[in-house]
A and B are shown apart, each in its own frame.
Chain A
Amino acid sequence: MNEIYVFVLAIFVGFEVISKVPPLLHTPLMSGSNAISGITLVGALISSGAGHGGLGAVIGTLAVVCATINVVGGFLVTDRMLEMFKKKEK
């Protein structure tokens, strides 16, 4: 039940924080938040490395690959975009 509390409160925090992001930055917001959702990597690491072997470990390793693509790709591409947003110095 505690977890549901955490979930609901986090949704509210999300709405508060994200509604302040200007449309100018909506694409980086999407790719950046996307990278954050790759946090399942943490679970994947345990599945892959817990030494249980068998189907579970194979699936776990596959999950590590997928999650790492999501995390690394997402953060890098976001950084690439944000770097381009510049104000002209006068």
Chain B
Amino acid sequence: MQTLVNIAYLLAAVLFILGLKKLSSPKTARAGNLLAMIGMFLAVVVTLLDRQIVDFTYILIGVVVGSAIGTVSAMKVQMTAMPQMVALFNGFGGAASALVAFSEYEFSRPTSNQMEFSVILNIILSVLIGMVTFTGSFIAFAKLQRIMRGPPMVFAMQKPANALIFLAVIGLGTAMAWDPANNDFLLAILLLAGVLGVLAVIPIGGADMPVVISLLNSYSGLAASATGFVLHNNMLIISGALVGASGIILSRIMCKAMNRSLANVLFAAVGTDGGETAATGGAAETRRATEYTVEDAAMVLENAQSVIIVPGYGLAVAQAQHVLHEMEALLMKRGVNVRYAIHPVAGRMPGHMNVLLAEANVSYDLLFEMDAINDDFQNTDVALVIGANDVINPAARLKKESPLYGMPILNVDKAKSVMIVKRSLAAGFAGEDNDLFFDPKTMMVFGDAKKIVMELAHALKAA
């Protein structure tokens, strides 16, 4: 029987890997997710057949409650709120790992005053990583949902306090190894780890949350692996390791796209969250920007042969994706070659902007990542920027003293002409003025993104 269970677990792990592999193309991705689901289902069914399980009452209650909450949240959530949702699910995953390790300890504790050190270490790691993931994810959720203020919260002695807590955890762990029969130590570790998760995320600014949720994603995987070590279950170890790797890759991509090191994101407490409203234009601006009316802008667009649309998060905030797709379709109908250029940090989590545009029925073969389209800007008539700022700021290439310097940007300034839809000339998150606004080939169209795009579409329809 045990061999059969193990084979089923192995099969589940293989299905997870194949499922992730199929995510390499949007054509096969949905089938891949289905494979992973089947893997999970198989693993659960086989576990339920395990003769260790004698009572199904609590399991049933747990599964019903969990499925109800999971289903309702997954079906109701808005695509703009996806980062919060993923953070929340992540948190629950972390909590589950910590709790499983704790209850495993509870079961083995009374019988043995002697516990192997490696077992204790695994239990502590699992509880520690799981709880940090749990509370850290909930803080990230609160910040993204704006229940909590976005800007970094810093207080005196923050880093020493974190270090102290970490040392306390090590101390408690040592105590636990001496006296494994006493569960107070693990309880204290559980609570301290929870505090550590909170303290680790509150000093990180709202704009850095994409990195944080990627990292927490990785932690939730590592927590699952740690639990696998506790339970001596290879399937858990493999699955957790896959997720851990995924989170690490995504955090690295996000850091690179924001031109920051991971250490800088985690510890430097950078960034306000006010966006355009918080950042004032700085010194009185003497240069003049060229302002275009919507009618003139529509004329320019319909006479272009090629247009690259650069969407930023401002577009999603204004909920303008649907009208934008409508406008894009009208332009395409007139024979204009329209494509979208997506910067890695265009949304609030890795790949977020692609999901938002896909929701608005934009065909995915029109969505191009930065490296794939950056060389095409120079042959493009109009680069249409909507709700983006820092990711197109040439200061990233030119100004050595700028906070943006070195960040990879979209080569909007290389296009033959540039059209920017924006509320004002204010600086972006980084607080760096954008010289592109004052470039002679740049047309500024001021106003709310949704309103402007709607009017553009209207003008195109009428023309």
Contact = CB atoms under 8 A, between A and B. Distances in A.
Contacts of A55: 103, 106
A35 B40 contact: yes
Contacts of A52: 106-107
Nearest to B90: A34
A59 B187 CA distance: 12
B106 A41 contact: no
Interface in B225-259: 225, 227-247, 249-250, 253
B59 interface: yes
A21 B24 contact: yes
Contacts of B369: 22-24
B334 to A, nearest CB: 16
Interface residues of A, number: 79
A76 to B, nearest CB: 4
Given A19-B249, A73-B70, A33 B242 contact: yes
A24 B96 contact: no
B23 A25 contact: yes
Main secondary structure of the interface of A (DSSP, over half): helix
Interface in B316-375: 342, 344, 347, 349-352, 354-355, 358-359, 361, 363-365, 367, 369
B74 A77 contact: yes
Contacts, number: 374
Nearest to A54: B106
Interface residues of B, number: 109
A23 B234 contact: no
B53 to A, nearest CB: 4
Contact of B97 (A23, A33, A40): A40
B62 interface: yes
Main secondary structure of the interface of B (DSSP, over half): helix
Interface in A4-57: 6-8, 10-11, 13-15, 17-52, 54-57
A66 B95 contact: yes
24 contacts: A7-B238, A13-B241, A17-B17, A23-B369, A27-B349, A31-B86, A34-B93, A34-B217, A37-B221, A38-B92, A38-B224, A39-B240, A45-B59, A56-B106, A67-B92, A72-B67, A73-B89, A74-B74, A77-B74, A79-B37, A84-B355, A84-B359, A87-B26, A87-B364
Interface of B: 16-17, 19-21, 23-26, 29-30, 32-34, 36-37, 40, 43-44, 47-48, 50, 52-56, 58-59, 61-63, 65-67, 69-71, 73-75, 77, 79, 82, 85-86, 89-90, 92-93, 95-97, 99-100, 102-104, 106-107, 213-214, 217, 220-221, 223-225, 227-247, 249-250, 253, 342, 344, 347, 349-352, 354-355, 358-359, 361, 363-365, 367, 369
Interface of A: 3, 6-8, 10-11, 13-15, 17-52, 54-57, 59-88
